[in-house]
Amino acid sequence: MPELPEVETIVRDLKKEVVGKTFSDIWVESTKIVKDYKRFKNELLFKKILDIKRRGKNILFFLSSGKILLIHQKLTGHLLFGKWKRKNNKWVCDIEGPLKEDPMNSFLRLILFFKEGCQLALSDLRKFAIVEILTNDELQKKLNSLGFEPLSKNFTFEIFKNAIYKKREKKIKEVLLDQKIIAGIGNIYSNEILWDAKINPFKKVEVLKIEELKRIYNSMKKILKLAIKLRGESFFTYRTIYGQKGEFDKARKVYKRSEETCFRCGNVIKKIKLNQRSTYFCPTCQL
């Protein structure tokens, strides 16, 4: 699933490409993506995008009508910016390069057309993405349970410490994955953060020392910022809006590296399930 760095990369690119543009048409593959097609189309047509923001893993398009288009890409979805034409009952990209050539960009479930001539498409292998139009009150209610934004300037160490300690009986990786505590971190970056901080993911919060919490806090900021700079991780299906892979893979230290050598101490990386999630760590230098 695209995590905070991937979603933030998409939002930053979309702000450059589609803010100020007006919707002119819509195509959807099925009601699995948009349940009430007629209402959705009426709510979207001829509305201008005023701003785009991220909250957790949600992409929020603020419309001239006062409503918000929310897209959550879920497990395998990603948004693409380009031009497509219908040929032989199939959408074909007009732009040469990864948008057209990478198979992961070919599972089009939704296309939003702009009067300016370009399009925004949703490619989603598994069809789990959520697309809906909400009022501001509906949006607040939907996102009300989300935790702190980890890269916010207001998210100080003290706030982090107090938030983490609310789940003191839980294992630290479980808490990092809890969207009600911290919004946006998933399995990839929780593994990378704890490796960088030299903390065992199975360690309970209640036994963590202040110095260890500070290492986790600093590593969280460091890893997420680095991943955004490298435009995300494309180990699976994620691509940027231009259809390109992110480059975080060259910085990946522990995720999906079981039985490989630890870059820090030279010992073997292990994989153990934690709440059905594969957890990667070095048992030698993550204490």
Q: Which residues are catalytic?
A: 2-3, 57, 277
Please give the structure tokens belonging to residue 27.
């195509």
CA dihedral 37, 39, 43, 44 (to 10 degrees): 10
Residues 251 and 227 sit within 8 Å (Cβ to Cβ) = yes
Distance CA 111, CA 115 (A): 13
Closest CA to 222 of 56, 11, 5, 12: 5
Q: Residue 105: which residues within 8 A CB-CB, separation 6 or more?
A: 80, 93, 98, 99, 123, 239, 243
Q: Which two tokens stand for residue 17?
A: 């490409």
| Angle, vertex CA 101, rays to CA 96 and CA 105, nearest 5 | 110
**How buried is residue 218: exposed, middle or buried, by Cβ count under 10 Å (0-12/13-18/19+)?**
middle
